[in-house]
Amino acid sequence: MGERILDVNNLEINFHTYAGDVKAIRDVSFHLDKGETLAIVGESGSGKSVTTKSLMGLLANNARVVGGSIMYHDEDILKKSEKQMQDIRGKDIAMIFQDPMTSLDPTMKIGRQIAEPLMKHKNVEKKKALAQALEILKLVGIDHAEERINEYPHQFSGGQRQRIVIAIALVCYPEILIADEPTTALDVTIQAQILDLMKELQQKIETSIIFITHDLGVVAGMADRVAVMYAGQIIEYGSVDEIFYNPQHPYTWGLLNSMPTLNSTDLQAIPGTPPDLLDPPKGDPFAARNPYAMKIDEKEKPPFFKVSETHFASTWLLHPDAPKITPPDEIVRRKKIFKKMQANVN
Amino acid sequence: MKKYLLKRVLYMVLTLFLVATITFFLMKLMPGTPYSNQEKMTPQQIKIMNQQYGLDKPIWMQYVIYIFGMVHGDLGTSFQFSNQPVSYLISSRIGASAQLGVQAMLFGVILGIIVGSVAAIYRNTWVDTTATVLSIIGKSVPNFVLAVLLQYYISLKLGWFPIADWEGFSYTILPTIALGVGPLAETARFIRTGMVDVLNSDYIELARAKGMNKFGIIYHHALRNSLIPLVTLIGPYTVALMTGSMVIENIFSIPGIGEQYVKSIQTNDYPTIMGVTMLFCFGLVLIILITDIIYGIIDPRIRLTGNED
């Protein structure tokens, strides 16, 4: 992979509420290399969206970054002023939102909406910006773009609108594209089209993608690397093959187990609910829902244990003194595939 | 669009006809006669006068004659104002009323949009609270009370503006404020609520993600979307300004239609009552049509299409 362009270190974010401070992001670190796709996976409330919003400087008013740094080209994004962030947003780091039905301005022609970042960041005059908007509109696969550029969002379908949202994000050729559940609100058939489009454009525009999703099925075809988040922390990260076929953390097992495959007869849900982040647990946050939990899981947070050069997991099960346990059948099956894959490589 | 407009105009004519009919018969139910010194007149004199004004005929016939005249553009002759035709009375007085109405509307709506937007941008701060309290006061204080207060403090005590009459722009300021504060308060409340909603919407977040600054976001995205619900208020505002102007014109002795209207009702000046009522009614149905057209301009989702039946 290419040079490292983004480095998030020990990020901590709290939300101030009447009940107290919600510790939404706790000691999160990850990095992004040029041209790669990093998927951040986790269930609702695990802190995926908050993490990415902090990259954009778009956190809600009651959010406070209490620690850590986000290094982008050797500069800490967290230390930049709102004005400096405005120059980065949309130009260097762009974002695709979850719901295309509500993320376009209903009263503005889509051409103008796509042209806006150009006019803002590249000082392009309106006419030229609209011409470039037309180009990118063709690129994202809107038919009859010459006429449709003068239409309003309500004249487009959901899938087409998401293409327009993608066009807005890519019009300045950003270095980093953050996609926050870009296919969740779409029909399954449209989802595949949008994912293919994103992969195709990533090649053309040479951008890095941070892909936020709760859907592991979407990750398999998209990502180079995967980070699994739970209760405001990253609990395991590695290459897409390592996460899918050699998972180490019981929460990752649970996620994979709850994903339908050709062989699965019934879906295994993860019992229980995530911990209350007003008062997060001291040890492994997943301990309460973890059938393999040990005493130490409740007392002390596990450090990251190295599985391979690219694969790390935060679970005491990887400690040399931990008892040997047998993972669920589905995981054992996956690990067998992983061994074959490695044998083939060697 | 043409078909749509034609249909709307037909409805307008029907509305005007219904209003004319109802007003005519209601007016005839009012007690008294148009003659101010009736007790001094002999029955003979009254009979002659009634004949002269056509009041001796049966009411249905008076009605037919009136409608026939109105269709042909003849609104009759005023009983009170030295036999002037009603159309002349209206045209000589409409200028002052229209100026006052338009000024009050512009003052109220423009200032209301500004106050409402500022309150929304600084929501839940002292700015917002102040704006809200002032709007509630502006909405609850009747305009005639405000008019008198303005006359007393601004004109009499401070002497900044003339207390009454209509002889130049400085004379229009106090009545404009008195009449415009209601719409101002209403607009501010409306815009604030609308804009708080809009500022929390996804497309505003997308605009922020584009790197736009606060002013750009408000001006290009938030304002237009918050203005949509305001369009519905234009109709009610017009009514408020018309009725409000009757009182305000009286208080400030402005030679406008409203003042005329009140006088004509007090003196049973039938042709003038009918004429002014029809004028107000026409103004209102026209405003409602314009409102619907403006809706389409601001909000492309409800743009009027030609294939509508």
- Give the contacts of A265 (CB within 8 A, at least 6 positions apart): none
Query: Average pLDDT in the B207-233 region?
Result: 87
SS3 A6: strand
Closest approach of A221 to chain B, Cα-based (Å): 27
Residue A147 sits at the vertex; the CA angle it makes with A145 and A148, to the nearest 5 degrees, is: 60
Give the pLDDT score at B22.
Answer: 92
Q: Which residues of B touch A97 (CB under 8 A)?
A: 202, 205-206, 209
Please check whether residue B212 touches A, CB under 8 A.
yes
d(CA A248, CA A255): 12
Q: Please write the tens of the pLDDT for every residue from B154-185.
A: 777 887 887 777 777 777 878 888 888 888 99
Q: Taking the CB of residue B145, how many other CB atoms lie within 10 A of it?
A: 11
Confidence of residue B204 (pLDDT cuts 50, 70, 90): very high
Q: Please write the tens of the pLDDT for every residue from B241-300.
A: 877 788 888 888 888 888 888 888 888 888 888 888 888 888 888 888 888 888 777 777
Flag whether pLDDT at B308 surpasses 50: no
Q: Is domain B89-271 given the CATH code 3.50.50.60 in the classification?
A: no
Q: Which residue has the tokens 């007790």?
A: B39
Please check whether residue B296 touches A, CB under 8 A.
no
Flag whether pLDDT at B28 surpasses 90: no
Which token pair is B141?
A: 């204080």
Q: Which residues of B touch A117 (CB under 8 A)?
A: 210-211
Give the pLDDT score at A8.
Answer: 93
DSSP letters, A129-159, are HHHHHHHHHHHTT-TTHHHHTTS-GGGS-HH
Give the pLDDT score at B230.
Answer: 84
Query: Average pLDDT in the B50-59 region?
Result: 81
Extract the residue ranges of chain A whose pLDDT is less than 50.
Answer: none
C-alpha dist (Å) from residue A102 to A58, A114, A185, A248: 18, 15, 11, 38
SS3 B103: helix
Radius of gyration of chain B (CA): 24
d(CA B227, CA B195): 9
- Are the Cβ atoms of B206 and A89 closer than 8 angstroms? no
Instruction: State pTM to two decimals.
Output: 0.79
SS3 B7: helix
d(CA B272, CA B235): 24
A4-226: which CATH topology? Rossmann fold (3.40.50)
- How do the domains of chain A map onto residue ranges? 4-226, 231-263+282-345
Q: Which residue has the higher pLDDT, B302 or B284?
A: B284
Flag whether pLDDT at B240 surpasses 80: no
Please check whether residue B206 touches A, CB under 8 A.
yes
Longest dimension (CA), chain A: 68
Flag whether pLDDT at B306 surpasses 70: no
Please check whether residue A176 touches B, CB under 8 A.
no
Report the candidate in A8, A309, A346, A288 with the shortest Cα–Cα distance to residue A176. Answer: A8
Give the pLDDT score at B309.
Answer: 36
Which token pair is A66?
A: 């209490």
Report the candidate in B238, B248, B139 with the shortest Cα–Cα distance to residue B188. Answer: B139
- How do the domains of chain B map onto residue ranges? 89-271
Mutate which: A91, A102, A116, vs B, most B CBs within 10 A = A116
Q: By percentage, how much of chain B surpasses pLDDT 70?
A: 96
Tell me what ipTM this predicted complex has.
0.84
Report the candidate in A329, A257, A253, A264 with the shortest Cα–Cα distance to residue A292. Answer: A253
Flag whether pLDDT at B303 surpasses 70: no
Q: Please write the tens of the pLDDT for every residue from A282-315.
A: 888 888 888 888 888 888 889 999 999 999 999 9
